[in-house]
Chains A and B, each alone.
Chain A
Amino acid sequence: MNPSIVRLAVIGSRASWGRLLGITAGVAVGVTLALLLGGAYHGLDARDERSSWMSASGDYVVGGDTSPRAVTGDPASLGNERVLLASTTDRHEGTRIARFDVAAPTTSNITIPGITDLPQSGEYYASPALIERIARVPADELGDRFGTLTGTIGDSGLASPESLVVVVGATASDLIESPTTQIVTDFTGLPYRANSSYQTVAIVGAIAVLFPVLLLVSIVTGLGAAARQERFATLRLIGATPRTVAAIAALETAATSLVGALLGVLMAAVLGPVAALVAVDDGVFFAADLAVTPLTAAMVVAMTVAASAATAGWRIRRAGIGPLGQTKQRPEKTPSMLRLLPLAGGLGMLIATTLAVLAGLPVPRVGTLIIIGFTITTMGLLVAGPYLTLIAGRIMARRGRTAAGIIAGNRIRRTPVATFRSVSGLVVAVFMVSVFAGAATTADRSAAPSVGPGLLAVSTLIQYLEPSSDAPDPAQTDAEYARLAAIAGVTGVVTVYRSDSGDGPDVGRLLLSADAANGLGLGAVPSAAVVSVNSDVLTGAPAVFTPAEATDVAKLTPRILLLGTDGSTAAVERARTALQSSTIFMTGWVPAGTRTDLADDRLQSMAASYATLAYLGIGVATLIAGLSLAIATVSAMIDRRRMLALLRLLGMNLAGLRRIITLEAAAPLLAVMALSVGLGFLVANLILVGLTNGGRSIGWPDLRYLGALAASAVLALAAVAVAASRLGKTTDLAAIRYE
């Protein structure tokens, strides 16, 4: 091909340069985002892999089948290939700390990632973030819980630089009686992401985020198509074959996309460390987590260039450009009602699965069926979009009262596929956020602990006590109570018992002395030496006291210790630390917690745990979709500048033109977005009901959702407004010649 022809065809004018710059910038943004998203996906896997040792498990010592192994309080009984492990979740100032108590002989061959030697009794290893936190606060609020710091857990054992992890050394006798203790032979756990359901959801999520990126690249490479077609028509006039112009178009797009894609790789490398600072789930990323391998980058570049070039060539061939311009109008094929079928199929699958579950029918692989149904519904929404856009256009065209409404309605009616394409990114983002927000409402409803008269204070620490084989020395117990009561900020220490008998009215209730009950300030206490109270008072139910059958608490076994505090964080943490360093109360190895902590535990569902990730992904998708919408709007304006200028010539002012442009974007957006919201909540409800056997259903969405929805709408409007602000220049009558 003659290079001069290519040069003429590609860079013939200032407008061409603008178009090429636009394509380059758009592809660069798209590739940057694709690489960052790929990096994030890889990063989440990498951090999951590194922290998988924390899910290591083995046989429980208490109640487990340990007899053949003959584990005793003697460390030597473990040998060098086994350790005792008690893993719990500790807390400090509302933040969770992963705590691992291990007992192993010094000669143990077992290792934990990030640690050279297992700690011995009195020693501990901590993550850098925890070490920093320990140094920041008084020892009696945190540091005293663990012993002597002997080392730092390396990055290879941590999910994030912000992870709070501690590995505490213990003696075998310390752990042997704890019901949480397991015999572990290997600290190799199963990564959470190995779960097939998670993988499927992750793939669906990745598609949802990648879709707007691909859309962006597709839209920018079509920038200024009309102007380009005019130039290609000139080439055809002077003898170029259809194959030649298609090849020139492909070559032009390939070269532009290559520059854009390489810029994208550069931008991704620069922005990677910044993106690593976004906290997801376990905290921020290590910069290396988000790094993309050169091979992946090369593949993304190659695929972008190849796909862009092929599409450009195909578009030109399909446009049928002859020597006198586009030889024939290629009206869009009118979308038929059949496009609703995949959507109906996906919804039908979800509804059928849910109904079958509710009816108690044996449904194999409910989770998989629901995920497949969800995926089909998402794809179905994209397939149905043009048809729904067509309907919205028809209604607008028929019912329009203004010139702008009628023109916009007819435009939508004639080009529903192209119109929907420009808003489809936002539609998918809104659908996804609606499903997620709907599913998350279940967790949110039980998130905040209630407060009020008759309810246990949210700052009261609850320490469960496990029965010990050795009865504690009463004198030592009294001394320990006195020590706890003397802690600054602790307002009371109450021992709670359970009935030891297997029947009677007090079974399942909590027992305590009437004096202690009065001290809790939970309402009327009957006059009896010992009273009972409903056990769910610990989880936030109002207290109802009744006289107990037992008459002397001294004959009962202590099961729970309640430490009232003045509500200050320091007092709660001091009390928590004191409880953990106590030798008589820690037989259960379950750290004390408040009702607030309990509520936080409830939030650790998969949906809640990945809330940040989901909202972040949706935010990114919305931003890209908004950008795509702006570019698509500008592109449509440039391609129709003659028609828009004609309207100005007829006397339509710029405000009227802006109304047309806005309506063309807003009408399908609002119509299909409303459907997306409705469908999103319906799908969320079906998923929840199906997965929980009808145990859960959705509630009202939280403010974050409404914020996300409002942000999407504002972004869409802003995108269109920014694009429409160019209308004056684009349709400048002096720049357009009518003949």
Chain B
Amino acid sequence: MTALIQARGLRKSFGTTDALRGIDLDIHRGEVIAVMGPSGSGKSSLLHCLAGVLVPDGGTVIVDGITVSALNEARRSALRLTEFGFVFQFGQLLPDLTAVDNITIPLLLGGMRRRQALKEAHGWLDRLGLETAAAKLPGELSGGEAQRIAIARALVAHPSVLFADEPTGSLDSLAAENVLTAMLELVRQAGTTLVMITHDPRTAAYADREIIVRDGQLAAGDRVGIS
């Protein structure tokens, strides 16, 4: 089976620090991957290079046959819009927009009419049990609510891949459990690939596969072909 994401020889440096030192990785469609590793190991740099947020200094990233690392910024923007979704630890909702408006943004960017986008967004709120939060601003939401809104926004445009960087890192254990459950349920239903950075082994346990990054390299068992 051809991998949805193929990374080969990924290298990335920040000044004199080598964040990624030649990473090879295949990720298959619908797979849930947990990326683990100590702080500063290069997890976020890997995720950002895979998603086209960072351009690697060396190596290639191919997503569904498209070489992401060779695209210009405009094409990478378009790819992020149509193929990728993102969830971070916190602070990712647009502070001036209500919850429902936040969810509509990817749809509007994709050219959908606002009325239809709002309908879709309300549908997602309903699925997540957040209908009462529709008109709230991010500052008025609890941490768990904000993360679930962020997940809805990340998935509303039906991306192929959801990149999540410590999505439950700022939540208490109960809220983290709820958020994780909701996210996994949604990606499984949609067949979306999930690449999730986490420090928490319990979170990682939900994944189909764990990979460990150390000093900018994958741990021995996580190389290409061993999945």
Residues of chain A having any CB pair with chain B under 8 Å: 329, 331, 400-403, 406-407, 410-411, 413-415, 642-643, 646-654, 656, 733-734, 737-739
Contact = CB atoms under 8 A, between A and B. Distances in A.
A403 B81 CA distance: 13
8 contacts: A406-B108, A406-B114, A410-B96, A643-B94, A651-B110, A652-B109, A654-B74, A738-B91
B139 A401 contact: no
Given A401-B113, A402-B108, A648 B96 contact: no
Contacts of B139: 329, 331
B66 interface: no
B26 interface: no
Given A400-B114, A650-B81, A733 B97 contact: no
B165 A738 contact: yes
Q: A interface, by DSSP: helix, strand, loop or mixed? A: helix
A401 B96 contact: no
B80 A651 contact: yes
A722 B65 CA distance: 38
Contacts of A400: 114
A179 B136 CA distance: 82
A365 to B, nearest CB: 49
Interface string B71-96: 00110011111101010111110111
Contacts of A650: 80-81, 86, 105-106, 109, 153
9 tightest Cβ-Cβ pairs between the two chains A and B: A651-B81, A403-B108, A410-B96, A651-B80, A414-B96, A411-B96, A653-B77, A738-B88, A733-B53
Given A401-B113, A734-B54, A643 B95 contact: yes
A733 B44 CA distance: 13
Interface of B: 44, 48, 53-55, 73-74, 77-82, 84, 86, 88-92, 94-98, 101, 104-106, 108-110, 113-114, 139, 153, 165-166, 169
Contact of A406 (B48, B80, B101): B101
B80 A413 contact: no
Contact of B74 (A646, A649, A653): A653
Contacts of B88: 738-739
Given A649-B86, A651-B81, A739 B165 contact: yes
Contacts of B166: 739
Given A650-B81, A651-B78, A734-B54, A656 B109 contact: yes
A737 B45 CA distance: 10
A280 to B, nearest CB: 46
Nearest to B86: A649
A686 to B, nearest CB: 39
Contacts of B82: 651
A646 B78 contact: no
Contact of A410 (B74, B81, B97, B108): B97
Given A651-B106, A652-B77, A739-B89, A646 B53 contact: no
B108 A646 contact: no
A667 to B, nearest CB: 14
Contacts of A653: 74, 77-78
A738 B96 contact: no
Given A402-B108, A407-B94, A734 B55 contact: yes
Contacts of B101: 406, 410
Contacts of A401: 113-114
A223 to B, nearest CB: 21
Nearest to A736: B53
B54 A733 contact: yes
Contacts of A656: 109
Given A649-B80, A650-B80, A650-B109, A406 B97 contact: yes
Contacts of B79: 651
B146 to A, nearest CB: 13
Contact of A739 (B44, B98, B108): B44
A734 B73 CA distance: 12
Contacts of A652: 77, 81, 109
Nearest to A412: B96
B77 A651 contact: yes
Given A650-B105, A653-B77, 16 more contacts: A406-B101, A406-B104, A406-B105, A407-B94, A407-B105, A410-B98, A413-B96, A643-B95, A646-B92, A651-B81, A653-B78, A734-B53, A738-B86, A739-B88, A739-B89, A739-B166
Contacts of B110: 651
A729 B58 CA distance: 23
Looking at A331, A401, A650, A654, the one whose CB has the most chain B CB atoms below 10 A away is: A650
A415 B96 CA distance: 9
A642 B91 contact: yes
Given A402-B108, A650-B86, A651-B78, A407 B96 contact: yes
A403 B105 contact: yes
B141 to A, nearest CB: 12
Contacts of A647: 94, 105
Contacts of A403: 104-105, 108-109
A644 to B, nearest CB: 10
B42 to A, nearest CB: 13
A411 B82 CA distance: 26
B10 to A, nearest CB: 15
Contacts of B44: 737, 739
Contacts of A413: 96
A407 to B, nearest CB: 7
Nearest to B137: A414
A413 B96 CA distance: 8
A241 to B, nearest CB: 26
Contacts of A407: 94, 96-97, 105
B149 to A, nearest CB: 14
A646 B165 contact: no
A326 B80 CA distance: 31
Looking at A647, A651, A738, the one whose CB has the most chain B CB atoms below 10 A away is: A651
A402 B110 CA distance: 10
A323 to B, nearest CB: 17
A118 to B, nearest CB: 75
A284 to B, nearest CB: 51
